[in-house]
Chains A and B, each alone.
Chain A
Amino acid sequence: MTIVRPSVALTARRPARSLAAATVALLLAGCATTGAPPPEADAPATPATPAASDTSEPPAASTAFPSTYEPLAHPATVLRNATVFDGTGRRFDDADVLMIDGKVAGVGRDLAIPAGTAEIDASGKWVTPGIVDNHSHLGVYPSPSVRAHADGNEATAPNTAQVWAEHSVWPQDPGFVRALAGGVTALQVLPGSANLFGGRSVTLKPVPARSVQEMKFPGAPYGLKMACGENPKRVYGSRGRQPSTRMGSFASYRAAWIDAQAYRDKWDAYERKRAAGEDAEPPKRDLKLETLKGVLDGEILVHMHCYRADEMLQVLDMAQEFDYRITAFHHAIEAYKIADRLAEANVCASVWADWWGFKMEAYDTVPTNAALVHAAGGCAIIHSDSDMGIQRLNQEAAKVLGDAERMGLAVEPAEAWTWLSLNPARSMGIDHVTGSLEAGKNADVVVWSADPFSVYAKAEKVYVDGALAWDLDNPAHRPITDFELGQPGEGDLK
């Protein structure tokens, strides 16, 4: 049986801490020469593959459309003398960041640098883990925004759990390159929020590719996009269909979970029979129920668009009723009102810095939302939901820091970086391989021209798996999508 490894992170509050502490201890001891990654750190780096002889395995969704991602050339590189946020909440001054074989090999001073390692002078620069955006529609709502490209919402039925965002992704979306230039090294592309069950998300690296498979983040679990509130009831209510009200939405969710439980039971019964050596016909696969079963089995992570506090609490009750987990509430405008409950339930709040007022459920925004969630001990995430915002997520976090300071809520900048990398990675089940600069993790690293919480900072170099995927100062490392080739401004500094 092939299972996408559920993230340990989802049960442990801050799983990276122990590893971080170990790294720090090593650094403090002045002997941070960590060449070999810890064995468990990068284990699921390859996609699971089906057992060739066994055709009667349970739904093999996790093995379909496998990642064919290959990192670019990634010679061993050390970034010298930078100010470093390691992504776990720590800051290092005048530190080196060593990348070997596409992995972080160490952060600190006096690292043992193997011969032949390329040296980059990063003095005066800042280095952080690559930004991870857990809410993007790049590729499914690409630029140019024309009707022919609008592939993000299968708004033909309130439950389309059977659709997969990756089948809509246009790899030539120039937005991917802009995101990369903004320091993004991983992103979750979600279906839109027209439906109660929007479909499966896909986790990508914003690297130039001919197919979406070449962008798929190896080993990343799938997510399921769900939506609360105004959007589904507006879309379907206007067509005279359920849901036209919030209570209609909940009735529809619950009916779907009941179907999913029955589907799971059918498969479980089949598996028991097979295990007992009995003859058994596998049930017919149902793509919609397969996705929901994945959630019940803990293999698919629920990312739920939900603005209002009261509605989020109802959803948490529903998750208890059907025994599944919500990984993150997205947009979560009112997360600050229930920050204690979200922390207790170990559910991340993925939010904008300051968007508000565009609909009723976005009326009660505070620009300190992320900081209040963080202060309550919760998992705060700054997401974009925007092809513009994704280019400046560091500034979005900076605005929250500024507004929080004004309200008497001081957050350490190094800690706030968890909102941009480690926490979103955790919500996507990839925090064991990215999201911080701990030794053994993928070398997803950004060199900033200045303090990345300054509006003036630019991502100068962006490394994905130790490979220089973006270089502000070198056109040879600035990809141009097919769409922009031969157009006005081709190759321009965008």
Chain B
Amino acid sequence: MTALTLAPATVAARAANAFPRPRVGRLTRRLGVAVAALAAALAPAVPAMAQSVAITNARVVTLSDAGTLANATVVIEGRRITAVGANVSIPRDATVIDAGGGWVTPGLFAPAGRLGTVEVGAVDGTRDDQVSGEAAGFSAAFKVSYGVNPRATAIPVSRTEGVTRAAVTPVPGDSLFGGQAALIHLRPAADAVFKDSVAMVVSLGEAGARRTGGSRGAAMGALIRALQAADTIGPLDLTQRWDGPIPRADAEALAPVVRGEIPLMVQVHRASDITQTLKLIERFERLRLILHGAAEGWMVADRIVRAGVPVILDPTANLPASFDRLGATQRNAARLIEAGVTVAFVPAGSDSHLPHLIRQSAGNAVANGVAWEEAFKAISLNPARIYGVERELGALDRGKLADVVVWDGDPLEVRTNPTHVFIEGVATPMTSRQMKLHARYSDLDGAPPFAYRRPE
């Protein structure tokens, strides 16, 4: 069994860099089939069928009990990981990717943001990330999933940077509630949503006050009344008039939140607002919370950990950008993790177009006191846990869905790039509109004229 070295048919393959480049090989005598299969896997227009793949000679960050393994192999069969370890048998028909000692990790999972719902920020018709409750007549009932575009150009940009899953979280418009978040995969497909209504977004603190009557008390009062209305709502009876404090559709959407089936994702920064938010659990016992933002979270870390509430934060946020964030520090993540809080990181940049910068966020978290593995969990396993999909995603373990990324170096380093990105066992194309633009204009003297150049 000799592994044959093939040139990966990707733009990335043209790179001449300092990192050892993983080699693609194949354990088969039927070379022609291998080449065809590989070409199919990498052809941008036609998503490849899942196949057997073995990634060998890798430093494997499993995020499971196995820890990080040197010289290990990851085997993918169909949609799933079937083996991880140093001495695993490789299926006879598997395509072998020699990682050359490089890193292999679970796919990155952006825990919040607007990927797939904003094509161009300032072009209204391309935006589906928020609702006007006033215009629509509902807000909590708003599902961002209807607007997710699997062909958004930001998806390949993020995928080729190692992101395989993302939570799409609506932004509160003119109402207290932003609506319902959804989970998407970044595989080329007709539909990107794989789990809907995974969280209910609400904004408190300064931002919530602005939307509800000018003070924090108004926002909290409005939230409590809405949850109470949801708690008491019965089955739909069209003969009865609804005279609840919020639209009936919103009360229905909030009912599973009060029952603890869908977590309430509260956007909040100030320590005192976090404290008040956590008190909601005393009033609504089954309520599950997620804190989003939490710039001053470290100041009340003990309360957060006691409440068992996870926190989604930007670990680089260190400016008193508002009076809600006077205590902001890059030590926030380290202090929360030290206290035992489950954290996940949002990107240090646009959450609609640069969700892959969660890697840079995690790298900066390490530079500010977070252990490497904890930082990596904050952009992979922890988001999966927060949304209750950790049985399938977030780690490299036998039986899990094969979201696997092969890197040409330490994945938290900003100079590192993926060489292969598998999503649910599918080798995804390593191309993006940005790469095509680069290729078109990389030679300004060449012919034919630019518009006639069609990069792969």
Contact = CB atoms under 8 A, between A and B. Distances in A.
Are the chains A and B members of one assembly?
yes
Nearest to B325: A144
A492 B296 contact: no
Interface string A377-396: 00000000001100110010
B438 A407 contact: yes
Say whether chain B's binding surface is mostly helix, strand, loop, or mixed: loop
Interface in A440-472: 453-458
Given A174-B319, A456-B366, A410 B17 contact: yes
Residue with the greatest number of chain A CB neighbours at <10 A, chosen from B330, B437, B438, B439: B438
B101 interface: no
Given A336-B438, A359-B120, A403 B417 contact: yes
Contact of A367 (B18, B122, B412, B434): B434
A356 interface: yes
Interface string B66-85: 00000000000000000000
B15 A407 contact: yes
B322 interface: yes
B415 A401 contact: yes
Contacts of B327: 487-489, 492
Interface string B321-363: 1110111111100000000000000001110111001001001
B14 A494 contact: no
B413 A455 contact: yes
Contacts of A454: 413, 415
A355 B350 CA distance: 8
A354 B331 contact: no
B444 A339 contact: yes
A485 to B, nearest CB: 11
B222 interface: no
A354 B317 CA distance: 19
Given A143-B319, A372-B442, A407-B438, A354 B349 contact: yes
Interface residues of B, number: 63
A415 interface: no
A455 B320 contact: no
Nearest to A364: B437
Interface in B345-399: 348-350, 352-354, 357, 360, 363-364, 366-368
Nearest to B357: A354
Contacts of B438: 336, 366, 368, 372, 407
B414 A398 contact: yes
B407 to A, nearest CB: 11
B350 A358 contact: yes
B121 interface: yes
A363 interface: yes
B366 A372 contact: no
Given A372-B442, A488-B271, A483 B320 contact: yes
Contacts of A388: 316-317, 319, 348
A357 B435 contact: no
Contacts of B360: 395, 399, 455
B1 interface: no
A403 B364 CA distance: 19
B315 to A, nearest CB: 12
B119 A357 contact: yes
B404 interface: no
B11 to A, nearest CB: 7
A24 interface: no
A402 interface: yes
Contacts of B352: 357
A166 B57 CA distance: 58
B120 A407 contact: no
A337 interface: yes
B437 A143 contact: no
A230 interface: yes
B146 interface: no
B444 A455 contact: no
A487 B321 CA distance: 13
B118 interface: yes
B17 A405 contact: yes
7 contacts: A339-B444, A376-B444, A388-B319, A391-B316, A405-B18, A406-B12, A455-B412
Interface of B: 11-12, 14-19, 118-123, 153-154, 271, 296, 299, 316-323, 325-331, 348-350, 352-354, 357, 360, 363-364, 366-368, 412-417, 434-435, 437-439, 441-442, 444-445, 450
Given A387-B319, A493-B331, 9 more contacts: A144-B320, A340-B444, A358-B350, A387-B321, A402-B416, A406-B11, A408-B14, A457-B367, A484-B326
